[in-house]
Chains A and B, each alone.
Chain A
Amino acid sequence: MATVSTNEFKNGLKLMFEGEPSVILDNETVKPGKGQAFNRVKIRKLISGKVLEKTIKSGESFEVADIVECSLAYLYSDGEFWHFMNNETFEQLAADAKAVADATKWLVEQDECIITLFNGAPIIVTPPNFVELEVTETDPGLKGDTAGTGGKPATLSTGAVVRVPLFIQIGEVLKVDTRTGEYVSRVSK
């Protein structure tokens, strides 16, 4: 089993922490002139998503987390699993609801998603930063009302709800930023 010592800590390093694959977000060493050195780390657990600040005695070793990221195209969901495919090798992979989590509302067929694998199994599904989705439901817009005000909610084909300007109509296709869940623009067909 590969291990890393605190001397190899750097931002982005993935290691096993409290039994969970985790990523280092920030690392600072604190060394009194006479005394034990410590690493003060900010760490995100990849499965629970929890961010922790912890103190580690310098010199301790940690198991490297077997984390691989791959880019796969979304195919379909059978209700229990979400299926993805490598467009080059045609290998398929199924992610469960826990891994897909909130990404489910941004999954568009054939869009390339980043799948994070831990020991070969999907643990995180990251949708593309921008997706294009059709409006399936929204109140009719008021004529002449172009900008300003708070906009209105619109339901998209995947079930996602975003705030859109008042002029947006049912049937239009929108570009949405999946990281913030915000409307970006209309997409002309």
Chain B
Amino acid sequence: MNWQPNASIEALKKRGDIVREIREFFYQKNVLEVETPALSQATVTDVHLHTFDTQFIGPGYANGQRLYLQTSPEFHMKRLLCAGSGAIYQIAKSFRNEESGRYHNPEFTMLEWYQPDYDHLQLINEVDELLQDVLKTDACDIKTYQQVFVEHIGLDPLIGGIEQVREIALRYDFGDFVATETNIDTLLQCLFCFVIEPLIGLEKPIAIYNFPASQAALAKIDESDNRVAQRFEFYYQGIELANGFHELQDAQEQLSRFEHDNETRKKEGLLSQPVDHNLINALTHGLPNCAGVALGIDRLIMLALNKKHINDVLSFNVERC
């Protein structure tokens, strides 16, 4: 019966309790709750994110204005930081096309927050504090991307040569693409997803930090080791739970990363995405030194309620919405 909710009413009550607990966590820390638009005139250039878009027609926009649904509230929130908001958080609906499955619904809820004067390691501790509150977990493990690769598959992911990575990847018999893949990150991500992730963060959450610089996204490159970016991810019981950065402040560097993404998109036959110049202008004005993180609320609630499918914590999934 498609009119009925996916999650039980009992699960939805617990979901409400957890969201209230999260708001209390940030209230105690004096972090301001903000709301930013779900629609934007520009969007992310990330090669692996697919956006939804729509058309606004109205006064002043007779010919229509394309608007994109946000894949996360990151760009709008950074503009608030540049304008002097101080520490902020938001619980926001986010939208990603082509994502649906056990851990994905195309519309989902993101908890995102920013702490001025924090670096990625300080923010890892704060994420862990929240997880201990909500999930009653022990203090998390903290390891570098390089450490877990060396420990679990004997490969240094920072050696930089795709052939060494390919040689290891071929041993796992993933599929034909391994032999011809030209992107080292695709091979590393494949090894990470299918070999490392099932082995880490089983008893308690684990934070993995210092991702390869080529997977920096919007994180700063480490000044003492330019092979790595100050980016982290949390994993727990096979679920990727959060992604955070010591945020890149350099507007020029950010712009060139966006342009580089768009060049990659062209090479792969994908549409270029409009660069968010409001964000670039805000960064030019100045982003305070800060760290930020995005955490999937639906997945957090799955873990808290011990549910095996995201549908079990959603009122109505994409098939019933």
Q: Is the CB of B189 within 8 A of A55?
A: no
Tell me how far the C-beta of B319 lies from the nearest C-beta in chain A, rounded to whole angstroms: 14
Given the known inter-chain contacts A31-B99, A34-B217, please indicate yes or no for A40 contacting B186, CB distance below 8 A: no
- Chain A interface size range: 20 to 34
Tell me if B193 and A33 are in contact (CB < 8 A).
Answer: no
Judge whether B175 and A32 touch: CB under 8 Å.
no
1/0 per position for A90-111, CB-CB distance to B under 8 A? 0000000000000000000000
B94 to chain A, nearest CB (A): 11
Q: Which of B297-321 contact A (CB under 8 A)?
A: none
Known: A54-B174, A55-B174, A55-B175. A38 touches B190 (CB 8 A): yes
Q: How large is the interface on B (under 10, 10 to 19, 20 to 34, 35 or more residues)?
A: 20 to 34
Residues on B with beta carbons closer than 8 Å to the beta carbon of A54: 174-175
Residue B210 at the A interface, CB < 8 A?
no
Contact of B225 with A by CB under 8 A: no
A103 to B96, CA, bound (A): 49
Decide yes or no whether A35 CB sits under 8 A from chain B.
Answer: yes
A71 CB-CB contact with B under 8 Å: no
**Does residue A30 face the partner (Cβ distance < 8 Å to B)?**
yes
Name the residue on B nearest A58 (C-beta): B98
Q: Cα distance A144–B235 when bound, in Å?
A: 66
Determine if A7 is an interface residue (Cβ-Cβ < 8 Å). yes
Interface mask (A78-92 → B, CB under 8 Å = 1, otherwise 0) = 000000000000000
Say yes or no: is A57 at the interface (Cβ < 8 Å to chain B): yes
Check B48 against A34 for contact (C-beta < 8 Å): yes
Query: Known contacts A29-B104, A56-B175, A57-B177; is A36 also within 8 Å of B190 by CB?
Result: yes
6 nearest interchain CB pairs?
Answer: A55-B174, A54-B175, A35-B189, A55-B175, A29-B101, A36-B186
Can you show 13 pairs from A to B with CB atoms below 8 A apart? A29-B100, A29-B101, A29-B104, A30-B193, A32-B189, A34-B48, A34-B215, A36-B48, A36-B186, A36-B189, A40-B194, A57-B186, A60-B177
Q: List chain A positions with a Cβ less than 8 A from chain B.
A: 7, 18, 28-38, 40, 54-58, 60
